[in-house]
Structure 1
Amino acid sequence: MTGIRYVTDETGRRVAVQLDLDQHRELWEDIEDALLAEERQGEEAIPYEQYRAERQRRRRQDGD
């Protein structure tokens, strides 16, 4: 596959991959999104209206 290179150790085992972001930007963004979703899986969710109210309150405080 073009635009992908593997980094290998002394034994030839693949230890890393290099992506040409011009060719594979969407793939990398999908990988990042999946990792972020996995990282945030245990976080508590709050309703949008609560988030919005807290954000507006913080904006008013910062504007003073």
Structure 2
Amino acid sequence: MNTAEQLHPQYVTDEQGNRVSVILSVAEYNELLEDLDALAAVAERREEPTISHDQLIADLKRDGLLQD
């Protein structure tokens, strides 16, 4: 996830010097969109039940997706 310090924004200001828009590189913009998608997925799954790591490993082995 990006932090404000990692971005290199340029600002568009009005006549009074108030920031009204932000200009980001396409790469930085796309990274922010990916971060938003990841956060939305986390929020959507917040109420799902969890299982322990040991149970996950056992389930993967049972289903043949993980070998000893």
Pairwise TM-score range, normalised by the shorter structure: 0.5 to 0.7
What is the SS of the residue equivalent to 1:59? coil
Give the structure-1-normalised TM-score: 0.56
The aligned counterpart of 1:58 is 63
- Unaligned 5+ residue runs, structure 2? 1-21
Give the direction of change, closer, same or farther, for the CA distance of 1:25–1:44 in structure 2 (3 Å limit): same
* CA root-mean-square deviation: 2.0
Give the structure-2-normalised TM-score: 0.53
Aligned residues: 44
Does residue 35 (structure 1) correspond to residue 40 (structure 2)? The answer is yes
2:30 to 25, 28, 39: 25
Structure 1 position 2, deviation (Å): 3.5
- Unaligned 5+ residue runs, structure 1? 4-19
- 1:14-57 alpha-carbon deviations (Å, 9 max, x no partner): xxxxxx85441210111011100110000000001101110111
| Moved beyond 2 Å, runs of 4+ | 20-23
What is the SS of the residue equivalent to 2:48? coil
Does residue 2 (structure 1) correspond to residue 23 (structure 2)? The answer is yes
The structure, 1 or 2, with the larger RCO (C-alpha pairs under 8 Å, 6+ apart) is 2
What is the SS of the residue equivalent to 2:47? coil
